[in-house]
Structure 1
Amino acid sequence: MQIENSRDLRWYAIPDDRFRRHGLPACSHGYSRLPMAARAAVPQAVAEQSQYAAGARLRFATNSSRLVLRCQALSKSKGHGIDCLVDGVYWKTLLLSRGDLNDVMVFRDLPTEMRSIELYLPHEQEVDVCAVGLQAGADIAPARPYRDDLPLVFYGSSIVQGAGVNLSCMSYPAIIARELNSDFINWGFYGAGRGEPEVIDLVAGCPAKAFILDLGKSYGIQPADVYLRMLKQLRQAQPAVPLVVITPVFSSRECFDSGFRTRTQRTRQIMREAVEALEGVLLVEGETLLGERDWPGLSPDGLHPNEKGCAETAKRLLPVIQAFYC
């Protein structure tokens, strides 16, 4: 990619090792969560959702007084954008319309001092960050290292991917990872998180600190042995890595739709029985993370938690995950 620098702005084409990418375990280029070969081997819905870089981040430190991104949206915006955190503090969200390459100002005229930059890519839009523009002569350094080389690996449904939040940096996996200063990988695939063996092969191929499985209601009406097979597949691939199973959180629809309530209760029971059948798997009841009395103000639709709902989920789940670092 040909990039022209100006007298006061220097462009750095991505990929560049000085701007570290995280949350993209299977790709050497681009921002898809699956490489092309893998997309051909998984269900179409998984392949489509993998184009949205949920959990993907660019991290670096710089003393530049100005930060500009050269980027392109390859799909329509759904109200989410690139979230920018400066020294761990939310700065702004860059909303991108589908179309040509654009240079988007993140900040300008800040004091010349080293600060940490973390850019979260949108969880429901396909984008390409092609280059980073910094003040000419600015220093670039690695971001603060994570506490562990191994990431937390989250697999599951729409709630994992971030449905219900506007800010991609506020999914509950992202909140937990920041709280623990941990890397993480988001394998949430909306309603397509169903535990297929070919998908679990990819999940199991990620060296992990822990696997957190939150399939929620995406599991659907499947035989009980599908869930147990998924757990065994992960255990066989990485025997020493903790497995955490989260049953579906409460949904307000359970109050009004008896069929939906019955299916949800059946899914919870399937997950409990699978955990009982395999030694050493941790069970977290989703209703202890978000229960019937928690939903007012914590969800836009009674099904997916918003930013406050994800913050509450992360707060309640954090002690379970934190124990893996002791």
Structure 2
Amino acid sequence: MASSYYPKLESTFPPDEKLTAATENAIIFYDASNFEIIGQLPDTETYTRLPLGAQNKVRQEVWNLSQHSAGISIRFTSNSSTIKVRWELKYNNHLSNMTPIATKGLDLYAYRDNTWQFVGVARPVEGHQNEAIIIEGMPANAQEYLLNLPLYDGILSLEIGIDSGAYVDKPAQKIIDTAHPIVFYGTSITQGASASRPGLTYPAMIERQFNKEVINLGFSGNGRFEKAIAEYIMTAQPSLVILDCTPNSPADTIRKNLPETIDYITAVNDTVPIILVESIIRDYAFFKKDDQNVSGTMSFINEQNNALKAVYESKIKTRKNIFYIVSENLIGEDHEATTDGTHFNDLGHYRAYQRFREEIEKILRSL
């Protein structure tokens, strides 16, 4: 039983006045870092996305965003009838195009009938310290869980609360393969904007579909195909690398950075598949006055995609296992798949997931 291994936490969190004393006393909390953490590169600090040594090697903006817990999850098993969480945020961020649950809340999945099924969410309050019941009133049966962390905030501490007579422990079943993860390197969309909760991003859906660990290196506004990030990606010995930085990268940046990044990945492992992804045409580009020097216009985006395609066509001549996803129909053609003209809503993330799933299945068949 986990209670034999993990001591009850004496928390400094203020009491939740909405809960009765009887309910509060019936819940025992355990440090979530004692369980299985997935979605992190090697040698990272708890709930962060780049190793500590990267702080002086990557741009400051990238380092700051790496402190967000996007794509990081906790795997555990429990027979508790109630699952409750307490968590302390680093920043308590507020984003106008994101729900609070996606930005700084959590969501929970359980493994049932050979698939991951959504259970519920932990809604944040207006503060750094948060406490929420995700679900209560379940039968006291052992279940495997996947707890997804916030997309656009960092976690200082996280505790999982269960019934006093129940247990919580590391996964009893492996389910998600953590050897040779899939790594996404991209932009704010990759990081999760603007899904309504953490489990609805396309990297998270890929992880649950293939039961393969996914590392999310989406850096909002700062996905630039940089070799410095590729150096950290390759420490994970990935089975697949998806480079989805085009929306943040002007054509000149793509022409300069992408060949270096592909060459570095190839030098470390010349067989690992690489997927390059075009930028969608942003919804407002259909209405703006066209100017190839203005970011977000039709000509600017086409130049980005043309630069990406040129690098792909050059590298595919000498490097096997490079694949290419075009923007056409990536999130549909009905203009209903973004929140703000750029960032994918839940429909956009689901459609992108379907396209990535098709490509990954094709790659797996070809290997």
Name the TM-score, length of structure 1 as normaliser: 0.90
Structure 1 SS opposite 2:140: coil
Structure 2 counterpart of 1:283: 324
Select the residue among 60, 73, 86 that pairs with 2:110.
Answer: 86
Select the residue among 49, 52, 57 that pairs with 1:36.
Answer: 52
- Superposed counterparts of 1:1-326, under 5 Å: 3-4=9-10, 8-16=26-34, 19-78=35-94, 79=100, 80=102, 81-87=105-111, 88-97=116-125, 99=127, 101-139=129-167, 140-142=169-171, 143-147=173-177, 149-223=179-253, 224-257=255-288, 258-259=290-291, 260-278=297-315, 279-280=319-320, 281-291=322-332, 293-296=333-336, 298-326=337-365
Q: Is the 8 A contact 2:80 2:166 kept in 1?
A: yes
Distance 1:208 1:250, change over 3 A: same
Q: Is the 8 A contact 1:76 1:97 kept in 2?
A: no
Deviates more, 1:258-267 or 1:133-142: 133-142
Partner AA of 1:303 in structure 2 = T
Deviates more, 1:307-316 or 1:81-90: 81-90
The separation in 2 between residues aligned to 1:199 and 1:211, in whole angstroms, is 12
The separation in 1 between residues aligned to 2:226 and 2:51, in whole angstroms, is 17
Structure 1 SS opposite 2:179: coil
The separation in 2 between residues aligned to 1:73 and 1:48, in whole angstroms, is 14
Deviations along 1:177-219, one digit per CA (max 9) or x if unpaired, are 2111211000010110002222221122221110011113101
Q: Is the 8 A contact 2:8 2:30 kept in 1?
A: no
Partner AA of 1:302 in structure 2 = G
The separation in 2 between residues aligned to 1:234 and 1:153, in whole angstroms, is 12
Structure 2 SS opposite 1:3: coil
Structure 1 SS opposite 2:349: helix
Partner AA of 2:152 in structure 1 = E
Gaps (5+ residues) in structure 2? 1-6, 12-23, 95-99, 292-296
The separation in 1 between residues aligned to 2:190 and 2:300, in whole angstroms, is 20
Deviations along 1:234-273, one digit per CA (max 9) or x if unpaired, are 1212212101111112211321231222221111111111
Distance 1:313 1:100, change over 3 A: closer
Deviations along 1:104-138, one digit per CA (max 9) or x if unpaired, are 32222311112221111111122234322222342
Q: Is the 8 A contact 1:289 1:316 kept in 2?
A: yes
The separation in 2 between residues aligned to 1:31 and 1:147, in whole angstroms, is 19
The separation in 2 between residues aligned to 1:134 and 1:164, in whole angstroms, is 31
The separation in 2 between residues aligned to 1:26 and 1:99, in whole angstroms, is 31
Q: Is the 8 A contact 2:206 2:214 kept in 1?
A: no
Name the TM-score, length of structure 2 as normaliser: 0.81
Q: Is the 8 A contact 2:234 2:265 kept in 1?
A: yes
The separation in 2 between residues aligned to 1:256 and 1:231, in whole angstroms, is 35
Deviates more, 1:251-260 or 1:101-110: 101-110
Partner AA of 1:277 in structure 2 = S
The separation in 2 between residues aligned to 1:303 and 1:99, in whole angstroms, is 29
The separation in 2 between residues aligned to 1:201 and 1:311, in whole angstroms, is 30
Partner AA of 1:83 in structure 2 = D
Distance 1:38 1:294, change over 3 A: same
The separation in 1 between residues aligned to 2:221 and 2:263, in whole angstroms, is 22
The Cα shift of 1:77 comes to 3.9
Structure 1 SS opposite 2:180: coil
Distance 1:131 1:28, change over 3 A: farther
The separation in 1 between residues aligned to 2:161 and 2:233, in whole angstroms, is 34
Deviations along 1:61-114, one digit per CA (max 9) or x if unpaired, are 211112222211221243221112233222222232464544432222311112
The separation in 1 between residues aligned to 2:330 and 2:229, in whole angstroms, is 26
Structure 1 counterpart of 2:14: none
Q: Is the 8 A contact 1:74 1:98 kept in 2?
A: no
Partner AA of 1:163 in structure 2 = A
Gaps (5+ residues) in structure 1? none
Structure 2 SS opposite 1:131: strand
Deviates more, 1:103-112 or 1:165-174: 103-112
The two structures, once aligned, show a CA RMSD in angstroms of: 2.3
The Cα shift of 1:9 comes to 3.6
